[in-house]
Amino acid sequence: MTTSKEIYITREIEAFIKIQSQHYPILSIMGPRQSGKTEMIKKYFPELPYFDLEQKETRKKVLENPDQFVRENYMDGVIFDEFHYVPELTEILKTVSDEIRHEVRKQGITAIPTRFVLTGSHNYLFDSKIRETMVGRAALIKLLPFSLQESGCKDPFEAMYKGGYPVLHVNGQVPENFFPAYIENYLDREVKTVHGIEDLRTFRKFMQMCAYLTGNFFDYETVCRTLDLKKKTVEKWLTILYSSYIIFFAGPYHKSAIAKFANKDKLYFYDTGLCADLMGAQSAEHIRINSDFKGKFFENLIFSELWKKNFIKGRYLDPAYFWNVKGEGGYEVDMIIEGMTNLKAIEIKASDKFDPRWFANMSKAKQLQEAQKFVVYTGPTMDVEGGRAINFCDLHLLFLD
């Protein structure tokens, strides 16, 4: 059987890493567990010593004297995997990186190639002390599971069921075996060890409820009542899922920048395969024939793909919104992309047959009259009356003016 060590799929984000690694002494790569961070950095920085700080013995060795550990052994560079386990390294890396920049600038050199590579499955920028250290010293990279282009998946239902975790595409792992083990690992190493949550059974149910709410507004009242949790606990648990790159949120579109922050957001999963497993999907065919699964998973697939493409380009502002009109006669438009000079309205449909009625909601709002109009679906890409229909594998066309 072919193993993941024998196959390496080049990540789209490597082009951005190549640029950033020439200008920052610290390179920070964050993303969910098993998104391919370790394999990528070992390939990209083969000359650097590697330490996995999740290992107790390694942590003990580093924590004896972090300053001495770095200064006496690794001033020329080092990789610290799962950096958030040893935040004590923060101050020494700040001091050393400043010293390096000072020395090279005295020589008239402005570009400072990366010496220290940090990875984390937990967004350690949530720690204010670490965030302050990273500002201006570190290039921030977010590595998510494979994009559609990286996985090469052309079947929409297979893409939804399988998701993008690299191990599912390079060494024969199957979703029905991978995801249960992944969830157990996540609960133990992230939820319990990093965040100190002991009630893992209820947290698992919470993850399942989030999966059922994907593509919808998060219903605090229902979640709190169903799981017998206080709102403060639910907010904390949402932050855990968000900070460990399990979920993200898309907000409503408004011309007013302030109004965009004043409304409810919709919840999505970065990986549809994980979401599908939490909801009990048993196969790609199960998703295709199940009306409760098909539409919401396909919408999630498109939103997550845009978020991935956004991070690949080193951008961190939300790349898309949704349009929501409340009250009697209310309606929605699935996605809004606001460009520098234009607005794009997009409907997302898990169907391979185009229906011109899909453009109806995009024509109702006065603010969207001049917007370019698209439908993303599973059929062929083609120009149609009123706009353009785009196959889900051709999402790059949404970014062309």
Pairing state between β 387-391 and 382-384: antiparallel
Q: Which runs of consecutive H residues, i.e. helices, occur in 253-347? A: 272-278, 284-289, 291-312
Query: Does the pLDDT value for residue 1 go beyond 50?
Result: no
Query: Does the pLDDT value for residue 311 go beyond 80?
Result: yes
Question: What is the model's pLDDT at position 102?
Answer: 83
The mean per-residue pLDDT over the stretch 43-58 comes to 94
What tens digit of pLDDT does each residue of 53-69 get? Answer: 999 999 999 999 999 99
Residues 322, 324: Cα–Cα separation, whole Å = 7
Residue 376 pairs with which residues in a beta bridge? 348, 390
User: Which is more confident, 341 or 56?
Assistant: 56
Q: Which runs of consecutive H residues, i.e. helices, occur in 195-271? A: 200-212, 220-227, 231-243
Residue 280 is given by DSSP the state: T
Q: Is 319:337 a contact under the CB 8 Å cutoff? A: yes
User: Which is more confident, 119 or 316?
Assistant: 119
Output the pTM of the full model. Answer: 0.91
The mean per-residue pLDDT over the stretch 112-141 comes to 82
What tens digit of pLDDT does each residue of 217-236 get? Answer: 999 999 999 999 999 999 99
Query: 34: how many CB neighbours lie within 10 A of its CB?
Result: 18
Q: Given this structure, which CATH class describes domain 14-142?
A: alpha beta
List the single range of 3-17, 52-66, 105-119, 241-255 with lowest mean pLDDT: 3-17
Domain residue limits, the chain: 14-142, 149-310, 321-399
Dump the DSSP string for 192-206. ITTT----HHHHHHH
Q: What is the mean pLDDT of the chain?
A: 89
Any idea of the CA torsion for 158, 164, 169, 174, to the nearest 10 degrees?
-60
Question: What is the model's pLDDT at position 128?
Answer: 66
Question: What is the model's pLDDT at position 130?
Answer: 73
Residue 394 is given by DSSP the state: G
Residues 187, 246: Cα–Cα separation, whole Å = 12
The mean per-residue pLDDT over the stretch 150-175 comes to 94
H helix or E strand, kind and range, residue 98: helix 89-106
Q: Is 364:381 a contact under the CB 8 Å cutoff? A: no
pLDDT band at residue 327, thresholds of 50, 70 and 90?
A: low
Q: Is 27:116 a contact under the CB 8 Å cutoff? A: yes
Any idea of the CA torsion for 113, 166, 287, 391, to the nearest 10 degrees?
50
Query: Does the pLDDT value for residue 328 go beyond 60?
Result: no
The mean per-residue pLDDT over the stretch 250-261 comes to 66
The mean per-residue pLDDT over the stretch 285-292 comes to 92
Q: Is 131:288 a contact under the CB 8 Å cutoff? A: no
Question: What is the model's pLDDT at position 113?
Answer: 87
Q: How far is CA 242 from CA 124, 161, 198, 367, in A?
A: 12, 21, 19, 31
Residue whose structure tokens are 């893992």: 200
Six-digit token string for 326: 């409340």
Residue 248 pairs with which residues in a beta bridge? 268
What tens digit of pLDDT does each residue of 259-281 get? Answer: 555 558 999 999 999 999 999 99
